[in-house]
Amino acid sequence: MSDPTVFNRRDFLKLVGVGVAGTAAGCAKPPADKLIPFLVAPQDILPGVPYFYASTCRECPVGCGTVVRTREGRAIKVEGNPLHPVGQGGLCARGQAGLQGLYDPDRIATPMIKSGGAWKKATWDEAIAAVGEKLKAAGPKVAVVTGNETGSLHRLVGEWVTAARGRHLVTEAFAYESVREANRANFGRAEIPVYDLSKARGVISFGADFLETFGRPVEQARGFAAMRAKKDDGAGWFVTVEPRLSSTGCNADEWVAPTPGTEAALALGMAHVILAEGLARQGQGLAGLVAAYTPEAVSQQTGVPAETVQRLARLFAKTSPTLAIAGGISTQGDHGTALVAATNLLNWIAGNVGQTLRFDRTLNFDAVASFAQVREFAGQMAQGAFDVVLVHGTNPVYALPAWSGFAEGLAKVPYKVAIATHLDETAEACDVLLPATHALETIGDAETVRGVHSLQQPTMKPVPMFDARSAGDVFIALGTAAALPLVLAATWADYLSMQWRPMLARYGAGRDWETFWGDTLKQGGVWDDVPSPAVSWQGAPAFAVSSVRGDGDLSLIVRPSNNFHDGRGANKSWLQELPDMVSKAAWGSWVEVHPETAQTLGVSSGDPVKVTTAAGSAELPAYVYGGVRKDTIAIALGQGHTAYGRYARGRGVNPVTLLSDGMDAASGALAYHGVRARLSRGSKAAALARTQLEMGLHGREIAQIIPLVDLLKGEPETGPEQAHGKERGFQMPGHFAAGEGVHVGVDGSMTRPGEHTEPLQRPNGYVPPAHSVSAAPLHPVRGPRRNPVDVGSYKNAKHRWAMAIDLNACTACAACVVACYAENNVPVVGPDLVMRGRDMAWIRIDRFEERVAPGAIDVRLTPMMCQHCSDAPCEIVCPVYATYHNPEGLNAQVYNRCVGTRYCSNNCPYKVRAFNFFDYSATEKPTFAFPAPLNWQLNPDVTVRSKGVMEKCTMCIQRILEGKGNARDENRPLRDREIQTACEQSCPTQAITFGDLLDAESAVHQKSYGERKYWVLEELNTKPGVTYLQRVTRDTLANEAHA
């Protein structure tokens, strides 16, 4: 252990255990308050050497396996754990931002007791004693409200509540009641199934935002990319059925926009067609169920043409296996269960159940109460059923509408205790605050997925400025103080250890306890394969479509946010600054309005509008979006906090307040859609901080696509003239079914065919660049693709670092953006500066949308970062060589040398350079971006830039150096993919590949010289080091013929 050279990133798991021992032993009571510098360094920890701890992400109920990188005793980066079955090495934006929860400057620092409406600081002993007294007095009139903790904490709370003879309520904003209820009714399993997209050859989603929040987004994204990578004919299509085109739906080949709430009818119509045409693989006897749902009837109800229903049904049934997913907001109507049941029927008759829809490693929502149960609980609170309520890890006062009665009921409880990290809306309503430790500094476990027992490892000593205790310890202390008839371990860690003892017999494989425990911590948990239970169709609830209530001419959709989930991520500045992938707006709320609706109202993006429903009204900026139906508006959840912290409070609107009374009677789910709304012009000068204002591609070839049929043809047999003669510019990925089913190609290019472009071998469908620099094609302007390594100073170089970005895999989940903020100390600048175009992101996701036909849009997403050009325009214009080309092909930026002429940015065609307009690193300035202890997260390997210098993507040069150093120390050549950039590591779909272009065997070389490659703005001859792979589009019309 004393030899630092044995460390490397690939083999980190070998080393984790030792670090674990020290930290785990010290986590209950930190021996010293100072984490850095190491005045007396623990023997096991070497300064400058990163240590990795396997843990479990607690940012949402999915619980992906993580690996936390620590330096000198501080957690600095959270990454996916490649060994862990949940997440499989990917981690979403919310998971990446978990660190900011740990170092949040607004965490509760000490226990506090409310007296006279104001919070007063208290000691732990005082607070525990005070609560203990109340608990004693309350007797059985005690309730504990928690989030979906699962694992040992769930059991501890359970035991605690049983001993107190009280009540334990588990709440989650998205409890997926309708999914569970429908699966119970259809298959006898009240569970959220596994959607195995990787096995599917086609997916139809009924409003499920399965790449954002629904289900297990990271794994589903990985599966989705695997499905989209399928190349055989007819494979990998994705049709999305939703009234508002979600970020997930933007990846689809075809968008079908039914009348809001009628998705179930469309699914049943498809089932009708499949059964009627004898395409079903099983369950032919179920035809009677859907007899009423003829395509014509469905067309009447949904507004989707009958031919589309038939076509989709044939497409769905003829390719196999396929998958129909219902989830997210579409299942949160007053007949959401019926929609899930309808898709279950589709999956059943298409033979997908047991293949792509399975019940093996299902998500553990067993204990989560439905909204109806929460409401019932709220009623009990209001009636005085409880004298003491303890709340931990959930924020129902914010997340639930006022008519649920939760806030009202809680207010009637005489004594409320919050065991919380933040003073959120629910904690604000309590009488005592007991600061809880963050998941990253607490030992714990979770069983979020059946058969997967994840361990949550403390990655560092608790941040000393917060006098917090783990929730488990607090419950143990409260149990003792209240003299509950309960025998618990002395500490939470002991309790956990006891809980895990039985695992030894099952998973020990002959190891002793110490070895088993150490190995398990290193691995992140234990898991075994869960056999997929055979399920059969057991019956269906009554089918119906969700209704839209109230008056108004618009249907309101309240949707979860990719950034904040149900709102719990709102106090993380990375997530606030991360623009929404649909509107590219950050730091606020907006309402998505169809262009024609906006035109009628006379508003454009950023103008204030007022949304009025039966429940209330809210004023917020409009965002004009071609991806919502004319009769629909949409608002994202997550903003509009009245408490929680400096980044969340008073920002945007909480659309839950607009929801009027509505529930799914079958499952007890809250109806997030189904409310009518009116839109009027607002009065307040609202402002929308958008990082991208122009969504049109203007015929420029930044985001390229290739139809699958062209890809399958391989190299073009035709000359350039044919290629030029084909449609260019935007091509519709599919077509718009809700109205005009026309296949329109819009000629966006104005280059005259054959005249200004050279005869260059190009795949079919290749669209010639609009910009060509020579009028006479005597010499090829863009010669054969030149390896950027064989020119100039690269001749003697050992590496040429490069990247390949597969647009076919990218789903715009934006995990890479947050990962980059975390890895590279990118400052967060806040809404005012974002509005003035000063966001500092090193990697961003450019979004382009084009109206290809009336009502239909084609969305293209391109991650954009420094292209590390071989002939970089920025380099020649820098007067002081602050940006220069290093021998390994990187476009390096020397902050120390930068004078700040900004010429490099002006000359960069990709505009990927960010300028430090203010001193974001100066503690005394108002622009300081890292208020303590957020500054603890800063990566010590990366400079924090000062005012007046330019910065940009370095391809994580610190990681390159680390990897090279490790290889050198071990006296071996670098291995391919040994070095991973932060964006690449986090990418759930592995769309980003980094590596050495000089290594012909490397993955990046294969991709950069393989099919679908192109360079963005290739015609400028910058010879980028980042190669993009065209997105493959599938024509769902053509597929029908093939299948």
Residues that bind another protein (CB under 8 A): 692-700, 702, 749-752, 755-756, 770-773, 775, 833, 836-839, 844, 846-848, 862, 864, 873, 876-881, 897-903, 905-907, 909-911, 913-919, 925, 927, 946-950, 1016-1017, 1020
Cβ-in-10-Å burial (0-12, 13-18, 19+) of 905 comes to middle
Please say which residue, 140 or 837, places its beta carbon nearer to another protein: 837
The continuous run of DSSP H or E covering 222 comes out as helix 217-228
The continuous run of DSSP H or E covering 297 comes out as helix 295-302
The torsion region of residue 1015 among left (phi > 0), alpha (psi -120 to 50) and beta comes to beta
Taking the CA atoms of residue 349, residue 224, residue 671 and residue 341 in that order, the dihedral angle to the nearest 10 degrees is 10
For residues 560 and 636, the answer to whether their CB atoms sit within 8 Å is: yes
In the complex, minimum distance from the CB of residue 818 to another protein, in angstroms, rounded to a whole number: 19
* Cβ partners under 8 Å of residue 205, min gap 6: 238, 239, 240, 241, 242, 248, 249, 252, 324, 325, 326, 327
Please say which residue, 34 or 836, places its beta carbon nearer to another protein: 836
Between the two ends of the chain, the Cα-to-Cα distance in Å is 59
In the complex, minimum distance from the CB of residue 526 to another protein, in angstroms, rounded to a whole number: 45
Please say which residue, 772 or 943, places its beta carbon nearer to another protein: 772
For residues 161 and 144, the answer to whether their CB atoms sit within 8 Å is: yes
Please say which residue, 658 or 950, places its beta carbon nearer to another protein: 950
Please say which residue, 294 or 1021, places its beta carbon nearer to another protein: 1021
For residues 610 and 651, the answer to whether their CB atoms sit within 8 Å is: no
In the complex, minimum distance from the CB of residue 772 to another protein, in angstroms, rounded to a whole number: 5
In the complex, minimum distance from the CB of residue 200 to another protein, in angstroms, rounded to a whole number: 32
Q: Cα–Cα distance between 246 and 329 in angstroms, integer?
A: 11
The two beta strands, 673-681 and 608-613, are: antiparallel
In the complex, minimum distance from the CB of residue 700 to another protein, in angstroms, rounded to a whole number: 6
Please say which residue, 237 or 848, places its beta carbon nearer to another protein: 848
Question: Residue 529's beta-bridge partner residues?
Answer: none
Q: Cα–Cα distance between 954 and 894 in angstroms, integer?
A: 10
In the complex, minimum distance from the CB of residue 459 to another protein, in angstroms, rounded to a whole number: 35
Please say which residue, 154 or 728, places its beta carbon nearer to another protein: 728
In the complex, minimum distance from the CB of residue 1017 to another protein, in angstroms, rounded to a whole number: 6
Structure tokens at 688: 């929308």
Q: How many CA atoms lie within 13 A of 105 on its CB side?
A: 13
* Cβ partners under 8 Å of residue 1032, min gap 6: 228, 231, 236, 705, 706, 707, 708, 711, 808, 1012
Please say which residue, 125 or 721, places its beta carbon nearer to another protein: 721
Please say which residue, 154 or 860, places its beta carbon nearer to another protein: 860
Question: Residue 793's beta-bridge partner residues?
Answer: none
In the complex, minimum distance from the CB of residue 899 to another protein, in angstroms, rounded to a whole number: 5
Q: Cα–Cα distance between 79 and 90 in angstroms, integer?
A: 7
Q: Cα–Cα distance between 864 and 911 in angstroms, integer?
A: 9
Report the number of secondary-structure helices (H) and strands (E) in the chain.
30, 43
Using DSSP's 3-state secondary structure scheme, residue 834 falls into helix
For residues 895 and 946, the answer to whether their CB atoms sit within 8 Å is: yes
Q: Cα–Cα distance between 674 and 588 in angstroms, integer?
A: 24
Please say which residue, 489 or 702, places its beta carbon nearer to another protein: 702
Please say which residue, 238 or 920, places its beta carbon nearer to another protein: 920
Q: Cα–Cα distance between 660 and 1017 in angstroms, integer?
A: 50
Please say which residue, 630 or 771, places its beta carbon nearer to another protein: 771
Q: Cα–Cα distance between 461 and 80 in angstroms, integer?
A: 21
The continuous run of DSSP H or E covering 1040 comes out as helix 1036-1042
In the complex, minimum distance from the CB of residue 693 to another protein, in angstroms, rounded to a whole number: 6
Scanning 801-928, the segments in alpha helix (DSSP H) are 815-823, 831-835, 873-877, 903-907
In the complex, minimum distance from the CB of residue 923 to another protein, in angstroms, rounded to a whole number: 15
In the complex, minimum distance from the CB of residue 833 to another protein, in angstroms, rounded to a whole number: 7
Q: What one-character DSSP code corresponds to residue 670?
A: E
The two beta strands, 388-392 and 142-146, are: parallel
In the complex, minimum distance from the CB of residue 946 to another protein, in angstroms, rounded to a whole number: 8
Please say which residue, 508 or 777, places its beta carbon nearer to another protein: 777
Q: Cα–Cα distance between 1011 and 807 in angstroms, integer?
A: 13
Structure tokens at 738: 């809700």
In the complex, minimum distance from the CB of residue 901 to another protein, in angstroms, rounded to a whole number: 5
In the complex, minimum distance from the CB of residue 170 to another protein, in angstroms, rounded to a whole number: 43
Please say which residue, 943 or 946, places its beta carbon nearer to another protein: 946
Tokens 């946010």 correspond to 561
In the complex, minimum distance from the CB of residue 691 to another protein, in angstroms, rounded to a whole number: 9
For residues 221 and 581, the answer to whether their CB atoms sit within 8 Å is: no
Q: Cα–Cα distance between 803 and 1024 in angstroms, integer?
A: 9
Amino acid letter for position 721: E
In the complex, minimum distance from the CB of residue 878 to another protein, in angstroms, rounded to a whole number: 6
Please say which residue, 155 or 700, places its beta carbon nearer to another protein: 700
In the complex, minimum distance from the CB of residue 905 to another protein, in angstroms, rounded to a whole number: 5
Please say which residue, 29 or 779, places its beta carbon nearer to another protein: 779
Angle CA 114–570–622, to nearest 5 = 120
Please say which residue, 421 or 954, places its beta carbon nearer to another protein: 954
